[in-house]
Amino acid sequence: MQTAPRAPRMNAHCERVIGTLRREALDHLLIGNEAHARQVLNTYARHYNGHRPHQARGQLPPLAREHTAPMTAPTPHRLLRTRVLGGVINEYRYAA
């Protein structure tokens, strides 16, 4: 993420993203080298943009196209878990 030159308010956005990244991923991993750091950051970016809910977007991830229908009553669907970054982050979804 690049910031606009001479725009001090942009620093707050960068600080927020860096803090979120550290709290949710980097504080729980031991990074071995640059290649490992790039792989962790790419994996987290896919999770952040494709699955993680964002409050400002109505609990939708940035890459979501539309709202899914809310569940009104418990259903017998099976819940599936996808482990991201070796289990540091878990993504949940219902089986079709």
Q: Decide which of 70 and 20 is more confident.
A: 20
Q: What's the average model confidence in pLDDT over 79-84?
A: 87
Percent of the chain whose pLDDT exceeds 90: 21
Q: What's the average model confidence in pLDDT over 5-33?
A: 85
pLDDT score of 73: 58
Residue 68 phi, psi dihedral angles, 5° rounding: -85, 155
User: Is the confidence at residue 34, as pLDDT, over 90?
Assistant: yes
Q: What's the average model confidence in pLDDT over 39-43?
A: 93
Within the chain, where are the H helices? Answer: 10-24, 34-50
Give the bridge partners for 54, in sequence order.
60
